[in-house]
């Protein structure tokens, strides 16, 4: 074992490679009360790219009053021009809720967007000021126009396991809204455990229900928040089901401003430690990534909640 790296011991039935969809700069920062300077956001994203992450969600083109932290999307995108260009190979998706958001994103040459629906009415109202059906109606022209422009579309679905207002969410309800997002033309679906209440058996059952509803595993990513410490166990359940796209946030930053009790996402470092320990390739340099999260924690003025960041950075000091 090399200091700072897990010993790789593969387990049967798991994928050889996982694509990490890094959400720290968007999901991670959107909840921060103090506005992070745009230059710091740009440096954060460059550091994440240097650490080997290839899909880095950059920001959101939402209403600036709804998410003030990301009101600088127009200022940020030009600072990332060197990363998103042809031939660089980096994917820099942005969140877009409606046609207004799409227009803003297209004006900045964005090549990948994400719409974000909800499996529950309460969160659809809180997050988008729409019912579930109205939100899907709002997304329809966004997905169609984006696809026509050759822009890749991810469909997030929030509250796939439990909802802070409505409690447990039935599998059939999640499968139904998932199917409708895929039918709109989303290339990929990301299953959000927005408040982190899922457990591994629930994850397996939901993935099976989605397959039964006609959503293939290849189109599914998982997006776990770590409120109850279940995110890694849930990820392993998803990998065992064949999922190869996993969302995570550097340093475990995060939360959702419109969901009570949402805490940070699964920390990318914790995920990478497990994946590399299983002999699964990610392309990520764990040392560089940890250094980035320590740097970001200094900017935010509080330590990273990631266990791996804490373990590795204590070793360094």
Residues lying near Mg ion in the complex (CB under 5 A) are found at 27
Cα distance between residue 306 and residue 266, in whole Å: 8
Cα distance between residue 143 and residue 152, in whole Å: 9
Span interacting with ligand HMG, options 12-20, 40-48, 63-71, 180-188, rule CB under 6 A: 63-71
Site string for ligand HMG, 262-301 (x = CB under 6 A): ----------------------------------------
Q: Which helix (H) or strand (E) holds 52?
A: none
Q: Is 160 a catalytic residue?
A: no
Cα distance between residue 201 and residue 207, in whole Å: 10
SS3 call for 171:
helix
In the complex, minimum distance from the CB of residue 80 to ligand HMG, in angstroms, rounded to a whole number:
19
Span interacting with ligand HMG, options 55-63, 79-87, 141-149, 282-290, rule CB under 6 A: 55-63
For ligand HMG, which is the closer residue by CB, 66 or 228? Answer: 66
Near ligand HMG by CB under 6 A: residue from 28, 117, 192, 252: 192
- Per CB under 6 A, contacts with ligand HMG among 66-85 are 66-67
The beta-strand segments (E) located in the chain are 19-22, 55-56, 59-60, 94-95, 112-118, 152-158, 162-163, 167-168, 188-193, 220-224, 245-248
**Residue 292 binding result from ligand HMG, Mg ion, none, given CB thresholds of 5 to 8 Å by partner type:** none
In the complex, minimum distance from the CB of residue 125 to Mg ion, in angstroms, rounded to a whole number:
17
Which residue in the list 181, 256, 274, 286 is annotated as catalytic? 256
For Mg ion, which is the closer residue by CB, 66 or 109? Answer: 66
Helices (H), 68-221: 73-79, 81-84, 99-107, 121-128, 132-148, 171-184, 200-212
State how beta strands 162-163 and 167-168 pair.
antiparallel
Can residue 62 be called a binding residue for ligand HMG (CB under 6 A)? yes
Residue 94: Cβ-neighbour burial (10 angstroms; 0-12, 13-18, 19+): buried
- Per CB under 6 A, contacts with ligand HMG among 151-190 are 156, 158
Find, among 99, 106, 93, the residue nearest to 60 by Cα. Answer: 93
Tokens of 270: 């914790």
Can residue 27 be called a binding residue for ligand HMG (CB under 6 A)? yes
Near ligand HMG by CB under 6 A: residue from 19, 46, 63, 145: 63
Residues 6+ apart with CB under 8 A from 310: 303, 304
- Per CB under 6 A, contacts with ligand HMG among 101-140 are 101, 104, 116, 127-129
For Mg ion, which is the closer residue by CB, 27 or 72? Answer: 27
Q: Which residues are at the interface with ligand HMG (CB under 6 A)?
A: 27, 30, 60-63, 66-67, 95, 97-98, 100-101, 104, 116, 127-129, 156, 158, 192, 194, 223, 225, 256, 258
Instruction: List, by residue number, the catalytic residues.
Output: 256
């Amino acid at each position: 074992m090399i200091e700072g790296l897990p010993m790789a011991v593969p387990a049967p039935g798991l994928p050889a490679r996982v694509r990490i969809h890094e959400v720290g700069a968007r999901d991670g920062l959107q909840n921060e009360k103090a506005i992070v300077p745009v230059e710091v956001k740009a440096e954060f994203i460059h550091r994440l790219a240097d650490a080997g992450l290839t899909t880095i969600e950059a920001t959101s083109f939402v209403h600036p009053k709804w998410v003030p932290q990301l009101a600088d999307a127009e200022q940020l995108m030009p600072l990332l021009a060197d990363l998103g260009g042809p031939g660089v190979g980096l994917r820099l998706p942005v969140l877009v809720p409606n046609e207004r958001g799409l227009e803003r994103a297209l004006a900045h040459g964005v090549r990948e967007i994400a719409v974000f629906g909800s499996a529950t009415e309460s969160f659809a109202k809180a997050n988008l000021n729409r019912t579930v059906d109205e939100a899907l109606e709002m997304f329809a022209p966004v997905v169609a126009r984006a696809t026509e422009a050759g822009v890749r579309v991810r469909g997030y679905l929030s509250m796939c396991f439990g909802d802070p207002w409505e409690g447990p969410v039935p599998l059939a309800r999640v499968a139904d809204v998932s199917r409708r997002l895929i039918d709109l033309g989303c290339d990929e679906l990301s299953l959000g455990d927005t408040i982190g209440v899922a457990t591994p058996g629930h994850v397996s059952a939901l993935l099976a229900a989605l397959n039964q509803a006609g959503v293939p595993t290849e189109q599914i990513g998982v997006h776990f928040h770590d409120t109850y410490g279940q995110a890694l166990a849930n990820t392993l359940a998803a990998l065992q089901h064949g999922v190869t796209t996993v969302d995570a946030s550097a340093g475990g930053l995060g939360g959702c401003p419109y969901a009570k009790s949402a805490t940070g996402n699964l920390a990318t470092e914790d995920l990478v430690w497990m994946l590399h320990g299983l002999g699964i390739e990610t392309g990520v340099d764990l040392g560089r990534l940890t250094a980035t999260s320590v740097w970001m924690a200094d900017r935010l003025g509080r330590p990273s909640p990631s266990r791996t960041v804490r373990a590795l950075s204590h070793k360094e000091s």
